Amino acid sequence: MDKQITKKMEEIVGKDWVVTNSKDIESYIKDETEEAIAPKPCFDCIVVKPTTTEEISQIMTYANNENVTVVVRGGGTGCAGAAVPIKPSVILSTERMNKILEIDDNNMMVECEAGVTLFDLEEEFNKHDSLFFPVHPGDEGAQVGGMIVQNAGGVRAVRHGVMRNHVKGMEIVLPTGEVIKTGGKLIKDNTGYDLTHLMIGSEGTLGIITKAYLKLYPKSSNSGSLLISFEDKKAAIEVVPKILKKGITPLAIEYLERQFMEKSADDLGLEWPAKKGKVDLYFILDEKKQDDLYEVSEKIVEECEKNGAVGSLIAETYKEQRAILEIRSHGYPSVQAQVVDILDVCVPIGSINDYMDGIERLSKKYDAYIPSFGHVGDGNIHNFIITEDGTKPENYDELSQEIFEIAVGLGGTITAEHGVGKIRNSRLNIQYSEKHLDILRGIKKVFDPNNILNPDTGITIQ
Ligand SMILES: Cc1cc2nc3c(=O)[nH]c(=O)nc-3n(C[C@H](O)[C@H](O)[C@H](O)COP(=O)(O)OP(=O)(O)OC[C@H]3O[C@@H](n4cnc5c(N)ncnc54)[C@H](O)[C@@H]3O)c2cc1C
């Protein structure tokens, strides 16, 4: 990295907050993308750790004038290589911008800096007597800024949706260094094009979020978990829209293949509580009154039994609920060494079984084990492409291409949560026309005329 750039960064944020030592930089150039498909990181980088919007504005003004590439780094928990620098870059870490600025009870909003982690938010609202923030992707190291630009979802999306449903405003430093503000503590705002929503899901390519207003919700204090077992995988999937149509909206509905959960439990020295059947639906419930919790549980069990469920189990105590959640959350880490790619497609809920038929056909065609697991209540089942040692199989490109084509053919998307990042850019044309891609490129050019902010992420500009 050019010494002039390092010197300028030291002037802006102070010498102590510029990392130039390659050993320390190492942990900033990777994210949680599977190694077999992760972008090749560039080591010729420095890490800068500002604490104010003004410092970030100065960094971007300089970078834009001098044509220096900048990659923002949140918690580094992304799964699509978006935060990985692939050319010499200034890595701008938001880790020191970690203040929760205000919890406004009356307006039911929290104002916080972008580097606040999900863990920090959870801690804060565990202490709060009546309000909480609902979005919860699986890694609590994720930061608010990263969650916004990735439009994060997670298990609670069945009831609460994704980040897009809860971000009401933000402060943004543009790639050219100017600062703009969007929205606020507002429920309604119809003034002009909606830049708040353009930033949500922009994968760190249009601007740097420095602050955000997030909507809060009243807590319900009666939670419970249900595990309902099925012999037939299709029957388990079929029952999901039937439950939702009844007006029952659990926090989460997860599809868990038994083999997978037993492996995860084994790994943790625990036991998966369901024994009958081959697959489980895992419902997380959260109701205002204890009676409501029982009533909703009964209705779900009844509907599942009508659809062929062979067993059901209600976890009421904190310990029982925690154990199931822990095993579910460990599902991915328990096979991580063998995973080549976690696919993240989404299809309409009513088409999940058609999608799964496609997966079964491809498993046979490519002689591949492609287990499925995840957010069945949102149509967002994660499929794992797995090999014995996690190395990319020769037919990976064709296999994944066919999976994406099946999803898009059913009216779905190639990525529901993880984003395009730097690993799925070449697949965008499966979903979008050339005109659509042109509009995306045009938007990027308006925000970032010199293409200095996280280039080659999401959409590539020549
Ligand atoms: C075990 C595990 C489970 C997960 N489960 C889920 C899940 O259930 N649902 C889900 O949606 N995701 C999930 N994820 C993915 C990941 O946690 C989310 O994508 C998260 O939102 C990333 O946030 P981050 O702060 O780590 O971002 P990073 O990985 O640091 O960065 C991601 C992108 O955001 C940009 N960025 C970061 N901060 C800012 C900012 N302030 N301004 C502008 N751009 C910024 C970066 O430049 C990069 O392009 C999971 C990941 C792991 C490892």
pLDDT of 195: 98
Q: How far apart are CA 203 and CA 150, in angstroms?
A: 5
Q: How far apart are CA 226 and CA 438, in angstroms?
A: 46
Q: Is 50 in the pocket of ligand 1 (CB under 6 A)?
A: no
Give the type of residue at 18: V
- With tokens 């933000």, the residue in question is 170
CA of 224 to the centre of ligand 1 (A): 28
Q: Is 154 in the pocket of ligand 1 (CB under 6 A)?
A: yes
Q: Is 81 in the pocket of ligand 1 (CB under 6 A)?
A: no
CA of 82 to the centre of ligand 1 (A): 8
pLDDT of 95: 98
pLDDT of 434: 97
Cα dihedral across residues 343, 256, 163, 318: positive or negative: negative
3-state SS, residue 380? strand
Question: Can you tell me which atom of ligand 1 is nearest the CA of 94?
Answer: 41
Domains of the chain: 3-95 (3.30.43.10), 100-218 (3.30.465.10), 222-329 (3.30.70.2190), 337-420 (3.30.70.2740)
Long-range contacts of 291-297 (CB under 8 A, 24+ apart): 292/222, 293/222, 293/223, 293/224, 296/248, 296/250, 297/224, 297/226
3-state SS, residue 47? strand
Residues of the chain short of pLDDT 70, as ranges, are: none
pLDDT of 138: 86
pLDDT of 461: 85
Q: Is 32 in the pocket of ligand 1 (CB under 6 A)?
A: yes
pLDDT of 316: 79
Query: Other C-beta atoms within 10 Å of 199: how many?
Result: 25
Question: Can you tell me which atom of ligand 1 is nearest the CA of 115?
Answer: 41
Structure tokens at 121: 């938010």
CA of 142 to the centre of ligand 1 (A): 6
- With tokens 């067993």, the residue in question is 311
Cα dihedral across residues 174, 177, 178, 179: positive or negative: positive
Q: Is 34 in the pocket of ligand 1 (CB under 6 A)?
A: no
Query: Other C-beta atoms within 10 Å of 445: how many?
Result: 12
pLDDT of 298: 96
pLDDT of 240: 97
